Chains A and B, each alone.
Chain A
Amino acid sequence: MQIWVVVEGDDHGLRESSREVLTAATTVAGGVLAAAVVLAPDKENLVQEVMEFGPQTIYLHEEGSPSVTGEDYAEFLGELIERERPGLVLAAETQFGKGLLSRTALQYRMPIFPDCLGISQGPESLLFERLWYGERVSALLTSAAERPVLATWREGIVNVKKCPGLNSTVQKVRPQVQTLNLTRFLEEVKADPLTVDLSEAEVIVAGGGGMGSAAGFQLIQELAELIGAAVGGSRVARDNGWIPLKRQIGQTGKTVAPRLIISCGISGATQHTFGMRDAKKIIAINKDKNAPIFKIADAGIVGDVHEVLPELIKRIKEGKQNARPVGA
């Protein structure tokens, strides 16, 4: 059976959830993926990376636009599936992936299994594993429809493995984008960084044992408020009662994936860094130049947090003052 994967990308290239589906789909396909459909702009070597998973064909949207929603591509994907007849088409269980596959399923009357945890070969047909009854029961489902089957794969449960050395042919495509103007998008209201769940925060200021006291930890709060970041911390910060458990980062706390994290007075123990391995940029302040946190930091400052942070806060406040228009 031919298996396809629809992949997604963003400014940072191929999305991790797409890597996961490519890995999972290759296993289901028994080693060789028939095709990958790339509807994202080719940023940060996205296509190159898709090739490392070895799909035989890559359908590449020449000028993929990230602003188009998944559903807008449903007609394009539906027609492509009708023409090429793969047996199974997979995507990640993301807004884009689910939007695209469920609309395709509805419009082209194809069965869909959303949010799968596994797909295996049963005695007669494929078995799709899903969670039922509030995630307490695992249900194995099959489809008896004589149609291509669509499924989305849950994020964050597959260990990515590439299979380099296979050749892909790239086929450029120009999807007709069909927007359904039934609803009108008005605006997006970003989450308040001070109250957003840590795992969803874009920017985090985190403090550890080096902050010394609850009063010292106030510097973390102040900096976070100034730059619109969420507050996090290490286990030592939690043990001292400076942060609640839901603000602890690490193995026994939250896993975070911010664009930027400023780590202050944190040693960088693996149990802590485990929870921030998906952070894009790490700035660390620590007075010990051998602190392990520096090994993973993009920028490190060897210094006392009680000197560096007040200085930084002063600069930011001055900067804000100077930026204020004259006479305001």
Chain B
Amino acid sequence: MPGRWEHDLEIAVPVGFWPHRAGPLTIENGCLSEKTEIVYDLGHLDHYALEEALKWKDRWGVKVTVVSVGPETHEEGMRQALSLGADEAVRLWDESLESFFPSAAAVKARMLAAWISERGCLLVLCGDKSSGSGSGMVGRYLAHFLARPNLVSVIQIDPLSESKLKVTCRGEKGSRLIYECPIPVVLSVGRGSETRYPTLPGRLAARQAEIPVFNLAQLQVEPAEIGVLASYARTARLAPARLKPKKILTPDSSMSASDRMKMILSGGVKKKKGNVAEGSQGGAAQIYDLLRQEGLV
């Protein structure tokens, strides 16, 4: 890999700190209840984004900095990231954000963009979706504010040259989409393979680390601009998730009663008048022809 990167490249990994996916969670009066001891964790996909960044650190010694928009409780998550191998952690927060957190992806992205452009991180790896509001919009907004390209569902990142990457993304039907993209870029990382565990020296260092905080004024972001972005989405209330709606078979009301019965009895598969052939020789020949039509043989 080009030697320049070893010293210059800094990867920013925006992370969130959210109730653990398997931990207890209760809702009271439209808010998260404080009564149950909530177990927090870095965002599920943030783990994978951090892992990709740490792989680059292992190979080329680049610097990895985690950055989070959130209240003081997020510091524990940032220390978790440090214990996994991140070099530095930075928190962005302003008292004025309290009222609409955590729904405002645009607000978070605006603050991250301010810090990242000031700091000059050329590569930004974030989780495809947060484990909070899970809108998948932070990466997109961030790329927009930074005027950089963005790819989503990224599962592998390989350097092609000093200024170009080969990026593999998850596509539809299990396929992989491969792109070439320039640096600087914002990549939204999806679920990948394994992630690492913290080391003991990592844990000790993380406990000592200083985590600086930057507010709106320090980031030179106008509160008015944040106000507009915050008006995009407001949380009205929370409720326990209702049973996931699932599509069921409801026959078209224009069908006759007997047709509706038949449809339900057939499990929704439409009755077809396919031709039925007999005999193994003829049968095999017929299937062979069909496979040829489909381009499979």
**Could you list which residues of chain A lie within 8 angstroms of chain B, going by C-beta atoms?**
20, 95, 98, 102-103, 106-107, 111-115, 117-118, 122, 127, 130-145, 156-159, 161-162, 164, 180, 182-191, 196-197, 200-203, 226-229, 259-260, 262, 270-274, 276-277, 279, 281-283, 285, 289, 292, 294-304, 307-309, 311-312, 314-316, 319-320
A196 touching B174 in the complex, CB below 8 Å, given contacts A141-B103, A183-B149, A316-B291: yes
Q: Which 4 A-B pairs have the closest CB atoms?
A: A191-B174, A182-B149, A301-B283, A307-B280
Contact-residue size bin, chain B (C-beta under 8 Å from the other chain): 35 or more
Q: Is the CB of B171 within 8 A of A273?
A: no
Closest chain A residue to B153, Cβ basis? A95
Q: Which of B25, B242, B281, B287 contacts A283 (CB 8 A)?
A: B287
Among B148, B180, B254, B274, contact of A184 (Cβ-Cβ < 8 Å): B180
Q: Give chain B nearest CB distance to A32 CB in angstroms.
A: 19
| B19 to A, closest residue via Cβ | A133
Contact of A304 with B280 at beta-carbon distance under 8 Å, contacts A283-B290, A315-B288 already known: yes
Instruction: Tell me whether B135 and A114 are in contact (CB under 8 A).
Output: yes
20 A-B pairs (CB sep. < 8 Å):
A103-B140, A115-B136, A132-B132, A132-B133, A133-B25, A136-B241, A137-B27, A138-B238, A139-B239, A141-B235, A158-B245, A183-B149, A183-B151, A189-B175, A200-B174, A273-B266, A295-B271, A303-B283, A311-B283, A316-B288
Q: Is B1 an interface residue (CB 8 A)?
A: no
Q: B144-161 CB contact bits vs A (8 Å, 1 = yes)?
A: 100011010000000000
Q: How far is the CB of A218 from chain B (nearest CB, A)?
A: 17
Q: Which residues of A contact B144 (CB under 8 A)?
A: 106-107
Whether the pair B271, A296 counts as a contact (CB closer than 8 A) is yes
At the interface, yes or no: B223 with Cβ under 8 Å from chain A?
A: no
Q: Which of B21, B178, B237, B248 contacts A134 (CB 8 A)?
A: B21
Q: How far is the CB of B158 from chain A (nearest CB, A)?
A: 12
B183 to chain A, nearest CB (A): 11
Contacting residues, chain B, for A112 (C-beta < 8 A): 137, 232
Q: Is the CB of A184 within 8 A of B238?
A: no
- Interface digits, B182-219 against A, CB 8 Å rule (1 contact, 0 not)? 10000000000000000000000000000000000000
Evaluate whether A270 and B246 lie within 8 angstroms (CB atoms) in the complex, with A182-B149, A301-B277 already known: no
Using known A-B contacts A114-B135, A188-B171, determine if residue A183 contacts B233 with beta carbons closer than 8 Å: no
What number of A-B contacts does a CB cutoff of 8 Å give? 269
Contacts of A272 in B (CB 8 A): 267
Mark interface residues in B244-275 (1 if CB within 8 Å of A CB, else 0). 11111110111000000000011111111011
* Interface, chain B (partner A; CB < 8 A): 18-19, 21, 25, 27, 32, 44, 103, 131-137, 140-141, 144, 148-149, 151, 166-167, 171-182, 228, 231-242, 244-250, 252-254, 265-272, 274-281, 283-288, 290-291, 294, 296-297
A189 to B167, CA, bound (A): 13
The verdict on A262 contacting B267 (CB below 8 Å), with A133-B132, A141-B234, A157-B245 known, is: no
Roughly how many angstroms separate A75 CA and B294 CA in the complex, as a whole number?
38
For A301, the closest partner residue in chain B by CB is B283
CB distance from B152 to the nearest CB of A (A): 9
Given A114-B135, A186-B166, A297-B272, is A140 in contact with B239 using a C-beta cutoff of 8 Å?
A: yes
Interchain CB contact under 8 A, B296 and A203: yes
A312 to B235, CA, bound (A): 60
Q: Is the CB of A319 within 8 A of B288?
A: yes
Could you tell me if A190 and B175 are in contact, using CB atoms closer than 8 angstroms? yes
Chain B residues within 8 Å of A197, by CB: 174
Whether B280 pairs with A102 at a CB distance below 8 angstroms is no
A225 to chain B, nearest CB (A): 12
Q: Are A271 and B267 in contact (CB under 8 A)?
A: yes
User: What is the CA–CA distance of A135 and B131 in the complex, to the nearest angstrom?
Assistant: 9
Whether A191 lies near B234 (C-beta < 8 A) is: no
Q: Are A191 and B173 in contact (CB under 8 A)?
A: yes
